[in-house]
């Protein structure tokens, strides 16, 4: 078990998909037993995006033939507060190309959307909750091509906040009470825009997790730190080195 997965369990995650399968089409949920499936064009068992390197990633090709992961609905996801986490590496940006979305019955009217680029603005990250667009603008360059980052989205019942590598980078305006699921038909999509086959994530993804509550800033930082290689200095000191 990875340090990251151990931390997810400790913090009470509802589901966790490492996306590190060496073969096959099943994306295993290591916490909630709500397995997903790989679809389209993808390559498994790619290099880890986490600094500790103890689990692999999946490479999604992007574009209309690109791959994505589809996870069946679980009513436990339908909470008043929510936190999502994912490691992502962008090979190329595509307008409105999503990393994560939670949709309702094949209609793009629900859930959480994390986009690499929104039309008209490079380097923008936005989130959608239910039938309302809730934009959270990220400074250009904060979602660069060719760089791995650990992204966390938190909705606390009023504000949507984005964290990159454990540090807050953006917060929305006040949107109180916008999460009210109820439909029971939502499906988590990793790497695909629910309404556009051409808009899919081009790059690698790993370590997707969902929580049914708003993690604190300290918990989000600890979650990120669980993906970072621990310092070897204390061990070397025991050997009289350093």
Q: Which of 143, 127, 140 is nearest to 88 (CA)?
A: 143
Q: What is the pLDDT of residue 92?
A: 84
d(CA 217, CA 105) in angstroms, rounded, equals 33
Query: What confidence tens digit (pLDDT) does each residue in 161-215 have?
Result: 889 999 998 887 787 765 544 455 557 889 887 667 777 889 999 999 999 999 9
Amino acid 74: pLDDT: 82
CA 87/CA 99 separation, integer angstroms? 10
Cα→Cα distances 201→46, 69, 138, 193, 196, Å? 16, 11, 18, 8, 11
Per-residue model confidence (pLDDT) at position 237:
47
Q: Which residues have C-beta within 8 Å of that of residue 51, sequence separation ≥ 6? A: 227, 228, 229
The two three-digit tokens of residue 166, written as one number:
């454990």
Q: Which region among 31-40, 68-77, 213-222 has the lowest average model confidence (pLDDT)? A: 68-77
pLDDT over threshold 80, residue 108: no
Max mean pLDDT range (25-39, 80-94, 100-114, 135-149)? 25-39
pLDDT the model gives residue 219: 98
Distance CA 118, CA 138 (A): 11
pLDDT at 232: 52
Per-residue pLDDT band for 239 (boundaries 50, 70, 90) equals low
Total-model pTM? 0.87
The pLDDT, as a whole number, for residue 11 is 98
For domain 3-238, the CATH architecture is: Sandwich (2.60)
List helix spans (H) across 85-170: none
Looking up tokens 């999946």 gives 58
**147 compared with 172, residue with greater pLDDT:** 147
Q: What is the pLDDT of residue 121?
A: 47
Question: Sorting pLDDT into bands at 50, 70 and 90, what band is 152?
Answer: very high
Per-residue pLDDT reduced to its tens digit, 117-128: 554 444 455 665
* Secondary structure letter of residue 212 according to DSSP: S
Q: How many residues does the chain have?
A: 242
Could you report the per-residue pLDDT of 2-27, keeping only the tens digit for each? 899 999 999 999 999 999 999 999 99
**pLDDT tens digits, one per residue of 63-107:** 888 899 999 878 788 777 889 999 999 888 776 667 788 765 544
As a whole number of angstroms, the distance between CA 124 and CA 25 comes to: 31
């Amino acid at each position: 078990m990875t340090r990251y997965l151990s931390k997810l369990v400790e913090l009470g995650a509802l589901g966790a998909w490492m996306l590190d399968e060496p073969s096959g089409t099943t994306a295993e949920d290591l916490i909630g037993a709500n397995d997903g499936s790989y679809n389209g064009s993808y390559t498994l068992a790619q290099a880890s995006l986490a600094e500790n390197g103890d689990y692999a990633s999946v490479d999604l090709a992007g574009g209309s033939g690109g791959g994505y992961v589809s996870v069946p609905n679980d009513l436990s996801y339908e909470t008043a507060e929510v936190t999502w986490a994912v490691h992502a590496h962008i090979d190329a940006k595509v307008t409105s190309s999503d990393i994560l979305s939670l949709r309702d019955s094949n209609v793009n009217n629900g859930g959480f959307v994390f986009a690499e680029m929104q039309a008209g603005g490079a380097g923008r990250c936005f989130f959608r909750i239910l039938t309302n667009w809730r934009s959270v603008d990220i400074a250009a360059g904060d979602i660069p091509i060719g760089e791995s980052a650990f992204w966390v989205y938190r909705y606390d019942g009023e504000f949507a906040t984005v964290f990159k590598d454990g540090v807050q980078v953006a917060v929305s305006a006040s949107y109180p009470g916008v999460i009210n699921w109820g439909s029971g038909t939502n499906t988590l999509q990793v790497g695909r825009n629910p309404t556009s086959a051409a808009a899919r994530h081009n790059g690698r993804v790993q370590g997707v997790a969902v929580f049914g509550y708003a993690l604190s800033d300290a918990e989000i930082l600890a979650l990120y730190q669980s993906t970072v290689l621990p310092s070897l200095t204390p061990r070397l000191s025991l050997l009289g080195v350093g």
